């Protein structure tokens, strides 16, 4: 094959081949110059691993990078011989080299089936030699630690198989450290080649416009047919069927579906069932765009999907995209190669679809100012010339240019001048002189930082800008439970708008805002709710344009905040297209409902929880921060559109309709003369908690014991189930309907249409039928693992499977945990060996059946301040150095020390003795204490890794003004600033080179009413500021725990602690 890499010869076959088979194979090799073309699931290569491994079509296999001796890996697990992964020697990889003759000519796809002993709840991946990389990653698998033999298929695309993966074609990767490596064991690996995938959803776009653009959804599969089910936003099935596969292809017609957000599950069986899940959306045609709605996009970050992504952005209806154009393209002074940077193609592609682009001018160039953010007159002049060249190059497409991004943050600005308003003023002044006719947008600041903006405005900075802009996030300085209406940044943004208007009449843009859906962040449903609310609130506060950040998830790690800001999910896992999150459909609905309509002042509904915003004369956006029922006065039928575009009509009775509101906005169209909260005679209820797979009972109640007219018979519809509610004067009557189950966990919205004038809403939290958790048993002496098995089913008892557990390298099984009654829990504690260390992090997992819990834990007791018996934590042995910008720690004299947490009924107390050869704390603003020698700690009110707690961040430093204690992230209901009630002492001994801290913080300032009795999270760091710069002067920090010093903050990496008596 032209261009194909040379193949190695087939030198080893399975040892048990018969003589006839060997002879036949030899004849085949002689007669055929190349292997036959690939066919669907053609078996080609197998390795059976053990003390005497056998290979068929496999050249060889070996464990580990260093050890490589299979004899060291041979084990027996549950009666099967296998090769194990280990911590000593450290083997996390199993390499497999497929023989050349086993690979069909032209093969592009392979399916690797792995039989493995599931020994721990860690990640497992497969990296393979592909056309693009020697270590291309397949879709990963999360092991559960069931202690049983299991099988999994990895599907590989665009294979090369030229021995570039360290001499192999692929390797299995058990993703654990040496200290936490579970004995995952592999017994058999087979490789099959196919010209069609097992099952792929091949549609490149999964957001459709109703009508001609509405589907179909396409599939590719090696199977003969594909079973499919389409569900509603809650995962409740709407319809199902079978698609026949012809020549490896199939299609699903969705033209019968109206606007909405849908789930799709498809299953095919080519010898083993394979299931793919995705979402898709259908939106109404876009009547007009609105320049207010815009989005951030990273041109060039998704080359294989950029066309589909821009098409999807056009379908949503965004008017403008924001993306950077990098100054680094100036390789020779004065020569600008714009075509070499991805913005060039992306901007022009978007323009064809009617989307404008605002380039962000950034950030540095090695030809000027040492490759740092420009600050000298020469560097600023060169940066300004670059901006002018960009304006000239893109004049046919745009006149909007952002001058840098988040200049007031060290995340983007590393210039010698610093991050001050004065430094930015010098930049925009130079750029405006070079680009007098452009719409210059700035300062595009990181956060609302009022003092910084006051300084910039006072210097006359607005005179050199045409549009004022700011980036602010609802997650900055607020608790995750804080709704958009209550975030600190919104109030400060409102103040900023007024400050700008007082100085200059100019547009004000929000250039970044969003809610990420990472594991410890917001749910996708919350993102969709908050998106509508945030854009409405910002517009009401004076914003003229709003850029959501961003359009597509930037990575594949669910726990990484920066990977989960998108409104679309990345392709992967058998889904080749860009699937919308609920937020993408909600954004499209918002645009269609409000485009071209003027937003009016919020209307009073008689309750601060209820938000009513009119658009134009006949459209209203409505939601409530807590569930409320409102009465809407009207003499005409009103069209109700929910956040996913589903429409219904409400017809008034006696001039009123009844509407249930919650945090999910809806839109009303039609003449309305008043809106008020009401005590409705109609109500809707269901269980607060329900389980997957179980039908849900929903009750509608009519209360005619008080004044108010209701018809004698009311037709009721709940999730497609219909019934009739009979009402009687002077009594309460109810109707209970059973609606279909969902297999999707999370909050399930339940809507009921009651008669013609009422739409009611309630919710239920859907959970798995049973769950298992592992938590540390923390005490002064000894350690244990407390296992809790909860039966969430309200009706049926649970007969659980054996419970397997693991902490570090210790493992065990509870063979007979016993039955658990309906709605109850069982709990027991497993004692760990005496060498389990305190204040040290261990990986853990507990598993039973389909339920698993895993993460990290530590046995970290916090003793009473009046009676300590344990040694303090030695940062030299238990701490971890984190370098910043290449900073180093030369040894204990450079930075080391000890810390001890203690408690009283009133305070959490931190005592720290820090060895530091140089003390640098030259700051006047205590909020900037983190930039210099200081300490910080974060407390998480829940168990690390859970999402039901609140994070608080405090710290202490010895500034020129004296010791300070500061709270950067306050508990709910409090504000960032000097820590309330803190008692702080910081003493520097220059001769000894030590800084001694004592910080006592009231429990109330950490978010507790009193000293907590349960397990919570702590993480500590001490900053080392030897750099001496005007901004972030740190070389790095020494941490106990993690998740504090680097963005995003991650409570899952905190140490688990408990107060002991």
Q: What is the pLDDT of residues 276-285, one digit of tens each?
A: 999 999 999 9
* 256 burial via Cβ count (<10 Å: 0-12, 13-18, 19+): exposed
Same-domain status, 816 and 927: no
Same-domain status, 210 and 94: no
DSSP-assigned letter for residue 410: T
Residue 693 within any structural domain of the chain: no
Same-domain status, 560 and 608: no
Number of helices followed by number of strands (H, E) in the chain: 11, 68
CA distance 310 to 9: 46
Nearest CA-CA partner of 207 in 714, 582, 547: 582
How far is CA 851 from each of CA 174, 338, 679, 788, 822, rounded to the nearest angstrom? 20, 53, 42, 12, 17
pLDDT tens, position by position, 208-230: 999 989 999 999 999 999 999 99
Same-domain status, 256 and 388: no
The CA-based dihedral angle spanning residues 55, 59, 60, 61, taken in that order and rounded to the nearest 10 degrees: -90
pLDDT tens, position by position, 600-616: 999 999 999 999 999 99
The per-residue DSSP string of 677-739 comes to E---SEEEEE-SEEETTS-EEEEEEEE-SSS----SEEEEEETTEEEEEE--TTSEEEEEEEE
Distance between first and last Cα of the chain: 74
Average pLDDT over residues 373-379: 98
37 pairs with which residues across the strands? Answer: 105
- E strand residue ranges, 352-491: 356-362, 400-403, 439-446, 467-471
Instruction: Look up the domain containing 629 and give its range.
Output: 598-678
Give me the pLDDT at residue 68, please.
86
CATH assignment of the domain containing 662: 2.60.40.1180
pLDDT tens, position by position, 392-428: 999 999 999 999 999 999 889 999 999 999 999 999 9
The per-residue DSSP string of 7-34 comes to PPP-----TT--HHHHHHHHHHHHH-SS
Q: Determine if residue 460 is left, alpha or beta; phi over 0 gives left, psi from -120 to 50 gives alpha, anything else beta.
A: left
708: confidence class by pLDDT, cuts 50, 70, 90:
low
pLDDT tens, position by position, 1015-1044: 999 999 999 998 777 778 899 999 999 999
Last residue of a domain, one of 594, 626, 653: 594
The per-residue DSSP string of 480-499 comes to TT--GGG-HHHHHHHHHHHH
Give me the pLDDT at residue 24, please.
32
Same-domain status, 299 and 367: yes
Least confident span in 99-103, 142-146, 612-616, 1027-1031: 1027-1031
CATH assignment of the domain containing 847: 2.60.40.10
Same-domain status, 327 and 263: no
| Residue 441 near residue 511 (C-beta atoms within 8 A) | yes
Residue 786 within any structural domain of the chain: yes
Preceding omega of 645 cis (within 30 degrees of 0): no
5: confidence class by pLDDT, cuts 50, 70, 90:
very low
Q: What percent of the chain has pLDDT over 70?
A: 95
Average pLDDT value over all residues in the chain: 92
Give me the pLDDT at residue 43, please.
58
| Angle between helices 450-458 and 488-503 in degrees, nearest 10 | 10
Q: Which residues contact 32 (CB under 8 A, 6 or more apart)?
A: none
CA distance 1022 to 759: 55
CATH assignment of the domain containing 66: 2.60.120.260
Q: Determine if residue 57 is left, alpha or beta; phi over 0 gives left, psi from -120 to 50 gives alpha, anything else beta.
A: left
Give me the pLDDT at residue 212, please.
84
Same-domain status, 826 and 907: no
Give me the pLDDT at residue 730, please.
93
Same-domain status, 57 and 172: yes
Same-domain status, 903 and 979: yes
Rg (CA), the chain: 31
How far is CA 997 from each of CA 901, 980, 1046, 1057, rounded to the nearest angstrom? 12, 18, 23, 21
DSSP-assigned letter for residue 378: H
Three-class SS state of 540: helix
Cα of 1012 vs its chain's centroid, Å: 29
Cα of 608 vs its chain's centroid, Å: 31
Give me the pLDDT at residue 28, please.
29
DSSP-assigned letter for residue 812: E
Same-domain status, 913 and 819: no
Give me the pLDDT at residue 476, please.
52
| Residue 716 near residue 752 (C-beta atoms within 8 A) | yes
DSSP-assigned letter for residue 637: -
Nearest CA-CA partner of 464 in 483, 436, 487: 436
CA distance 375 to 626: 50
Average pLDDT over residues 109-123: 92
pLDDT tens, position by position, 283-300: 999 999 999 999 999 999
The pair of structure tokens assigned to 853 is 């819990």
Buried b (16+ CB within 10 A) or exposed e, 106-115: ebbbbbbbbb
Same-domain status, 914 and 998: yes
If one counts the domains in the chain, the total is 6
Average pLDDT over residues 850-868: 94
Sign of CA dihedral 584, 765, 516, 265: negative
Place of tokens 């003092």: 451
Average pLDDT over residues 180-196: 93
Three-class SS state of 152: strand
| Residue 765 near residue 688 (C-beta atoms within 8 A) | yes
Average pLDDT over residues 572-598: 97
144: confidence class by pLDDT, cuts 50, 70, 90:
confident
42: confidence class by pLDDT, cuts 50, 70, 90:
low
Backbone angles phi, psi at 591, to 5 degrees: -65, -45
CATH assignment of the domain containing 226: 2.60.40.1930
Average pLDDT over residues 140-155: 90
Residue 703 within any structural domain of the chain: no
| Angle between helices 306-316 and 342-352 in degrees, nearest 10 | 40
How far is CA 386 from each of CA 286, 329, 356, 400, rounded to the nearest angstrom? 37, 10, 20, 15
707: confidence class by pLDDT, cuts 50, 70, 90:
low
* 722 burial via Cβ count (<10 Å: 0-12, 13-18, 19+): exposed
Residue 960 within any structural domain of the chain: yes
Q: Is the pLDDT confidence value at 790 over 90?
A: yes
| Residue 126 near residue 176 (C-beta atoms within 8 A) | no
Nearest CA-CA partner of 923 in 892, 959, 949, 883: 959
pLDDT tens, position by position, 994-1016: 999 999 999 999 999 999 999 99
| Residue 944 near residue 855 (C-beta atoms within 8 A) | yes
Q: Return the higher-pLDDT residue of 88 and 632.
A: 632
Q: Is the pLDDT confidence value at 543 over 80?
A: yes
241 pairs with which residues across the strands? Answer: 228
CA distance 370 to 377: 13
Give me the pLDDT at residue 35, please.
35
Q: Is the pLDDT confidence value at 27 over 80?
A: no
Q: Is the pLDDT confidence value at 7 over 60?
A: no
Residue 79 within any structural domain of the chain: yes
Q: In 13-139, which residue ranges form alpha helices assigned H by DSSP?
A: 19-31, 70-73
Residue 662 within any structural domain of the chain: yes
Average pLDDT over residues 42-54: 89
Give me the pLDDT at residue 509, please.
99
Last residue of a domain, one of 628, 662, 678: 678
Give me the pLDDT at residue 45, please.
95
| Residue 619 near residue 593 (C-beta atoms within 8 A) | yes
Residue 689 within any structural domain of the chain: no
Residue 791 within any structural domain of the chain: yes
Q: Is the pLDDT confidence value at 655 over 70?
A: yes
Q: Is the pLDDT confidence value at 9 over 70?
A: no
CA distance 427 to 442: 11
Give me the pLDDT at residue 458, please.
98
Q: Is the pLDDT confidence value at 329 over 80?
A: yes
Same-domain status, 380 and 421: yes
Average pLDDT over residues 635-645: 97
Last residue of a domain, one of 537, 572, 594: 594
809: confidence class by pLDDT, cuts 50, 70, 90:
confident
């Amino acid at each position: 094959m032209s261009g194909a890499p040379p193949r190695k010869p087939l030198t080893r076959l399975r040892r048990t081949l018969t003589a006839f088979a060997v002879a036949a194979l030899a004849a085949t090799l002689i007669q055929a110059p190349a292997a036959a073309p690939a066919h669907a699931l053609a078996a080609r290569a197998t390795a059976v691993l053990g003390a005497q491994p056998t290979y068929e079509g496999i050249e060889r296999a070996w464990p580990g990078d260093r050890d490589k001796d299979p004899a060291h890996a041979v084990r027996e697990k549950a009666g099967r011989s296998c090769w194990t992964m280990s911590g000593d020697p450290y083997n996390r990889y199993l390499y497999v080299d497929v023989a050349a003759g086993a690979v069909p000519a032209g093969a592009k796809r392979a399916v690797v089936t792995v039989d493995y002993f599931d020994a721990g709840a860690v990640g497992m991946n497969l990296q393979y030699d592909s056309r693009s990389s020697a270590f291309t990653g397949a879709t990963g698998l999360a092991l559960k630690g069931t202690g049983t033999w299991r099988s999994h298929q990895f599907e590989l695309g665009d294979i090369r198989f030229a021995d570039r993966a360290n001499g192999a074609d692929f390797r299995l990767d058990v993703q654990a450290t040496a200290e936490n490596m579970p004995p995952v064991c592999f017994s058999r690996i087979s490789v099959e080649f196919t010209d069609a995938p097992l099952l792929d959803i091949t549609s490149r776009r999964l957001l459709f416009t109703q009508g001609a653009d509405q589907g179909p959804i396409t599939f590719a599969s090696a199977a003969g047919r594909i079973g499919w089910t389409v569900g509603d936003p809650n995962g409740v099935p709407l319809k199902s069927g079978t698609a026949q596969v012809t020549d490896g292809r199939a299609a699903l017609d969705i033209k019968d579906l109206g606007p909405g957000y849908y789930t799709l599950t498809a299953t095919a069986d080519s010898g083993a069932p394979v299931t793919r899940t995705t979402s898709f959306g259908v939106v109404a045609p876009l009547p007009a765009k609105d320049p207010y709605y815009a989005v951030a996009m990273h041109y060039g970050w998704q080359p294989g999907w950029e066309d589909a992504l821009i098409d999807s952005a056009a379908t949503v209806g965004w008017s403008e995209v924001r993306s950077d154009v990098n100054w680094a393209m100036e390789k020779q002074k004065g020569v600008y190669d714009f075509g070499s940077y991805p913005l060039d193609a992306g901007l022009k592609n978007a323009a064809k679809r009617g989307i404008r682009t605002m380039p962000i001018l950034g950030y540095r160039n090695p030809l000027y100012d040492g490759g740092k953010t420009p600050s000298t007159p020469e560097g600023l002049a060169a940066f300004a010339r670059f901006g002018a060249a960009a304006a000239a190059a893109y004049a046919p497409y745009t006149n909007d240019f952002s001058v840098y991004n988040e200049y007031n943050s060290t995340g983007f600005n590393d210039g010698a001048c610093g991050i001050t308003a004065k430094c930015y003023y010098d930049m925009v002044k130079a750029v405006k002189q070079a680009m007098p006719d452009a719409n210059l947008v700035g300062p595009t600041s990181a956060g609302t930082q009022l003092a910084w903006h006051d300084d910039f405005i006072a210097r006359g900075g607005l005179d050199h800008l045409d549009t004022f802009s700011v980036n602010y996030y609802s997650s900055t300085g607020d608790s995750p439970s804080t709704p958009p209406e209550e975030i600190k940044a919104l109030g400060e943004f409102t103040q900023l708008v007024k400050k700008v208007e007082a100085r200059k009449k100019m547009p004000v843009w929000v250039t970044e805002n969003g809610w990420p859906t990472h594991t410890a962040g917001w749910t996708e449903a919350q993102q969709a709710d908050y998106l509508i609310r945030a854009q409405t609130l910002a517009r009401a506060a004076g914003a003229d344009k709003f850029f959501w950040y961003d359009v597509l998830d930037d990575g594949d790690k669910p726990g990484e905040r920066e990977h989960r800001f998108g409104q679309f999910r990345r392709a992967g896992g058998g889904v080749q297209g860009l699937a919308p999150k609920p937020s993408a459909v909600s954004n499209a609905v918002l645009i269609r409902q409000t485009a071209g309509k003027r937003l009016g002042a919020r209307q009073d509904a008689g309750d601060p929880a209820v938000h009513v915003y009119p658009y134009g004369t006949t459209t209203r956006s409505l939601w409530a921060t807590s569930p409320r029922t409102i009465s809407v006065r009207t003499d005409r039928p009103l069209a109700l559109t929910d956040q996913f575009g589903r429409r219904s009509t409400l017809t008034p009775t006696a001039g009123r309709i009844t509407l249930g509101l919650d945090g999910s906005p809806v839109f009303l169209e039609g003449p309305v003369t008043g809106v008020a909260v009401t005590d409705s005679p109609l109500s809707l209820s269901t269980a607060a908690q329900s389980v997957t797979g179980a039908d849900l009972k929903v009750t509608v109640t009519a209360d005619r014991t008080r004044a108010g007219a209701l018809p004698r018979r009311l037709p009721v519809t709940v999730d497609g189930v219909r019934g009739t509610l009979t009402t009687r004067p002077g009594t309460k009557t109810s109707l209970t309907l059973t609606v279909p189950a969902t297999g999707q966990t999370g909050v399930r919205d339940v809507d009921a249409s009651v008669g013609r004038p009422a739409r009611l809403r309630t919710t239920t939290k859907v959970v798995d039928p049973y769950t298992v958790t592992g938590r540390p048993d923390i005490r002064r002496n000894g350690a244990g693992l407390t296992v809790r098995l909860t039966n969430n089913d309200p009706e049926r008892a649970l007969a659980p499977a054996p419970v397997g557990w693991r902490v570090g390298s210790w493992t065990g099984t509870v063979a007979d945990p016993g039955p658990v009654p309906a709605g109850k829990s069982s709990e027991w504690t497993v004692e760990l060996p005496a060498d389990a260390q305190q204040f040290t992090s261990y990986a853990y997992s507990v598993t039973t059946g389909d339920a698993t819990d895993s993460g990290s834990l530590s046995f970290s007791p916090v003793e009473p301040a009046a009676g300590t018996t344990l040694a303090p934590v030695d940062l030299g042995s238990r701490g971890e150095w984190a370098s910043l910008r290449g900073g180093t720690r030369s040894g204990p004299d450079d930075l080391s020390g000890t810390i001890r947490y203690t408690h009283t009924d009133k305070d959490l107390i931190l005592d720290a003795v820090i060895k530091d050869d140089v003390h640098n704390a030259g700051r006047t603003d205590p909020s900037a204490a983190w930039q210099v020698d200081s300490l910080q700690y974060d407390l998480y009110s829940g168990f690390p890794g859970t999402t039901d707690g609140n994070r608080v961040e405090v710290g202490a430093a010895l500034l020129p003004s004296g010791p300070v204690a500061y709270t950067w992230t306050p508990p709910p209901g409090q504000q960032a600033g000097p820590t309330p009630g803190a008692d702080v002492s910081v003493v520097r001994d220059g001769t000894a080179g030590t800084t001694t801290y004592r910080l006592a913080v009231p429990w109330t300032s950490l978010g507790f009413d009193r000293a907590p009795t349960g397990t919570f999270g702590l993480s500590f760091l001490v900053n080392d500021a030897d750099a001496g710069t005007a901004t972030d002067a740190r070389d790095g920090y020494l941490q106990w725990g993690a998740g504090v010093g680097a963005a995003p903050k991650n409570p899952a990496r905190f140490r688990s602690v408990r107060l002991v008596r």
